[in-house]
Amino acid sequence: MDSDIAISVKNVSKTFKIPHEKVSSLRGAAVSAFKRNKGCEEFKALDDVSFEVKKGEFFGIIGRNGSGKSTLLKILAGIYQTDKGSIKIDGRISPFLELGIGFNPELSGRDNVYLNATVLGLSKKEIDKKFDSIVAFSELERFIDQKLKNYSSGMQVRLAFSAW
């Protein structure tokens, strides 16, 4: 790596598997264990990303929701591994990515909205009335019934912010 380059990212890609199947019983778990197609969708968070940051430069990452910003930062911090490509860092990186938002990672986004809103003092009727607007504001309609542990940190923060 060139001595004036602090971070070099070359052709980095990262894909996540998003489960579609909701197993809610022991029988369902046993049946799904033998299925060939487990009902997963591949979500390409990063696709062939390359850049360099020179020593002394400031570097910002901006983009739309779901564009891979947090995934890229986690790869740079060594939290995630790339599927493809290489990263070289001359120096140290300290990640400050995860926010303790108080949600349960084993529950779905939907269940976490209801849990969080209940803790904030809303009745089920009030939550039902506001639920669609909360989800629309978070832009997580497609993922709302997935477990929170399958969400990116950015998705978790959006959901938490929307629930307020």
Rounded CA-CA distance 164/4 in Å is: 45
Residue spans per domain, the chain: 5-89, 109-163
Rounded CA-CA distance 71/79 in Å is: 9
pTM for this entry:
0.54
Best CATH choice for the domain 5-89 from the list 1.20.1440.230, 1.10.238.10, 3.40.50.300, 2.60.40.10: 3.40.50.300
Best CA proximity match to 95, nearest among 81, 82, 76, 80: 76
DSSP designation for 147: B
What are the mean pLDDT values of the chain's consecutive 10-residue runs (164 residues total)? 90 89 67 64 93 90 86 88 95 59 84 85 90 94 93 86 79
Provide the pLDDT for residue 100: 43
